[in-house]
Amino acid sequence: MDALHTRTLQQLDAAHHLHPFNDNGALAEQGTRILTRGQGCYVWDAEGHQLLDAFAGLWCVNIGYGRAELGHAAARQMQQLAYYNSFFQCTTEPTIQLAAKLAELAPGDLNHAFFTNSGSEANDTILRLVRHFWAVQDQPRKNIFIGRHDGYHGTTMAGASLGGMKGMHRQGGLPIPDIHHIDPPYGFGDGGELDPDDYGLLAARRLEAKILALGPERVAAFIGEPVMGAIGVYIPPRTYWPEIERICRRYDVLLVADEVICGFGRTGQWFGAQTYGFQPDVMTLAKGITSGYVPLGAAMFNDRVAGVLKAQGGELAHGCTYSGHPVCAAVALENLRILQHERIVEHARDGIAAYLAQRWAELGEHPLVGEARIVGLMGALELVPDKTRRDCFPDRGRVGALCRDIARRNGLILRATHDAMLLSPPLVISREQVDELFEKTWKSLGETAAAMGK
């Protein structure tokens, strides 16, 4: 793209486009970066720079960019039947096939899909249908959801309320009523000198204390990301989720796993719940379900919840025009076919995860890095002022943003949350690309330290 055209587009963008999760005033001054092309693990920007996308778009491009098969699947379905709804006793073939495919892939008896356009809407769906599930069983007061401070469940009213991001709650009067939060499992910041297994139990038992404080007859469900993504890839100790599951069963609280990031291979198994050895009653899906090629979300319910909704739920007064959109379903099916046929999840786990973990641990040796943590293909580097301690930088977020911008100039996309550098590459990343990731990250850490005058 020539420089004049790029500049024109940036001016139009500044004049007419409000960006999510941006300071729009500052962005308009600075000019948006326009991405133009993607192939495999790389994207190119309007200036022609090639960037290694170690964040897979936004945790989603699991099969990598540029897979023509997904475009063909969309084109075929558009020509055959571009749209039909799933309201009024109807649906389409790809929608049915996708629901069946998800039931086959999802662990245990998570056999029932409700489709949405996004992860946020799937969580809205879960909030409504789970409350409805209890209400039709004569427990209308069992309506409280417990999430976690700093959790992320999307940006709709319910999604942002279930999430625990204070900055989000401040905009728009959130959280909505009957949503509570407990502290997350964050060993680096909160675990002190505790053994990780002990810390995992301690962090999980915060749920039990909260349920008892509210009264088990009030608590409908607990929702959590198997690995907390957006806040900075908080990897729980292995004791955490089994203990959460035990507590949920004990008080008959439904367990909702928000698998929007963890699902479809990110943690080395198809779902994060499998990596951590627990069985959710309800699961949120989006992102990797289509590798981000088209928007799609789903809420998966187990036999118990779906059974009650079918037997006693009456007409579900809920749904989106595009619930089960045939084009999105066709693309999802093709994405899942490729993931299975090319054994991408298994190759990522057995072929690349160990090597990536080894190189990530080497990055942990850098003087700026307080902790390098990783599970599967999802990791974080915690940047700290003093490697021997776990203190944060005083002006939280500045160093992370600096490192992110330097990495970008070095041809590497990493995300920064506060002062943690987050990693989530396409699952198809090769050993050579892991080496490139290492080199560019190490160089960027050094330049960050230099820019800070260290």
Ligand X SMILES: *Cc1c(COP(=O)(O)O)cnc(C)c1O
The contact set with ligand X (CB under 6 A) reads 59, 118-120, 152-154, 225, 229-230, 258, 260-261, 286-287, 297
Helices (H), 53-154: 56-59, 68-81, 93-105, 119-135
Q: Which two tokens stand for residue 444?
A: 């960027």
Smaller CB separation from ligand X, 286 or 412: 286
Smaller CB separation from ligand X, 119 or 268: 119
SS (H, E, C) 413-447: ECEEECCEEEECCCCCCCHHHHHHHHHHHHHHHHH
Smaller CB separation from ligand X, 6 or 284: 284
Min dist CB 297 to ligand X, Å, is 6
DSSP helix/strand/coil, 111: strand
Smaller CB separation from ligand X, 147 or 191: 147
Smaller CB separation from ligand X, 64 or 272: 272
Min dist CB 165 to ligand X, Å, is 11
What whole-number distance in Å separates Cα of residue 336 and Cα of residue 70? 10
Smaller CB separation from ligand X, 235 or 363: 235
Cα torsion 362, 366, 368, 371: sign:
positive
Q: What is the rounded radius of gyration, in angstroms, for the C-alpha atoms of the chain?
A: 22
What whole-number distance in Å separates Cα of residue 68 and Cα of residue 245? 41
Tell me the C-alpha to C-alpha distance, in Å, between residue 114 and each of 147, 309, 382, 438: 21, 12, 37, 40
Smaller CB separation from ligand X, 70 or 296: 296
Residue 197: HSE in the Cβ half-sphere, 13 Å Cα cutoff = 0
Min dist CB 58 to ligand X, Å, is 7
DSSP helix/strand/coil, 74: helix
Min dist CB 271 to ligand X, Å, is 13
What whole-number distance in Å separates Cα of residue 439 and Cα of residue 435? 6
Helices (H), 136-239: 157-162, 166-169, 187-190, 196-214
Min dist CB 54 to ligand X, Å, is 17
Cis peptide before 175 (omega within 30 of 0): yes
Smaller CB separation from ligand X, 181 or 440: 181
Smaller CB separation from ligand X, 77 or 155: 155
Min dist CB 289 to ligand X, Å, is 10
DSSP helix/strand/coil, 211: helix
Q: Indicate the residue whose CB is closest to ligand X.
A: 119
Min dist CB 356 to ligand X, Å, is 20
Q: Which two tokens stand for residue 355?
A: 């090597």
Min dist CB 424 to ligand X, Å, is 10
Min dist CB 162 to ligand X, Å, is 9
Q: Considering only CA atoms, which of 110, 37, 99 is closest in space to residue 289?
A: 99
